[in-house]
Amino acid sequence: MQHPYIIGISGGSGSGKTSFIKSLMNHFLPHEVCLISLDNYYKPKEQQPIDANGIQNYDTPESIDFEQFMHDLATIIEGKEVQRLEYDFNNPNYVPSMLTFNRAPVIVLEGVFLYCYQQLENMIEFRIFIETQEHLRLKRRILRDIKERGYPVDETLYYIEHHVTPGYAKYVEPYRNECDMIILNNKNFEKAVELVAGHLKQKSV
């Protein structure tokens, strides 16, 4: 059985990774591509790192249960099914779904801190970085946290200043120039989606 072709998609919070991936996945059938997001491996709130003010910091690689992520990835590569409850971003009004993952010819790994983990360095064969101007990234993040996740405005602004911005500079941006493809998403990414889909089509047969 041929080893799956594994690609990575990363970029700052609010860069448009989710929208890009949704558009990309529309080009494939479920059995052709398996998508696994680090977002669904956040540790429980009580296990999150604490900043100097005693506030949980989710914008660091340590906020992810990477050991479980690697275990599940290995299980999927072996051809076994994995189920995991969708992460609810601590939103009490959100009802998470049970996600099911199965081996496919192409495995897409996605996450803000994806390229920080050395264990994945030799596993990811093609690296994509979604880049967006800082003011657009932060605007999207603020709107998403307030409207979609129900976070208070003051908490959202605190996270942006103390966690999101320094976390991007330390854990995300340094890997930009190591990627095989940088996609600019200040306006749209349709052409980039077509290019990536064409590349993956060759690997999904």
What is the CATH number for 161?
A: 3.40.50.300
pTM assigned to the model: 0.91
DSSP3 helix / strand / coil % (the chain, rounded to 5): 45, 20, 40
pLDDT in tens, the chain (205 residues): 679 999 999 999 888 898 999 999 999 999 999 999 999 999 999 999 999 999 999 999 999 999 999 999 999 999 999 999 998 776 667 788 999 999 999 999 999 999 999 999 999 999 999 998 988 888 888 888 887 777 888 888 899 899 999 999 999 999 999 999 999 987 778 899 999 999 999 887 6
Among residues 139, 134, 127, 137, the alpha carbon closest in space to that of 176 is found at: 127
Q: Structural domain tally of the chain?
A: 1
Parent domain of 104:
5-201
Residue 121 Cα to chain centre, angstroms:
16
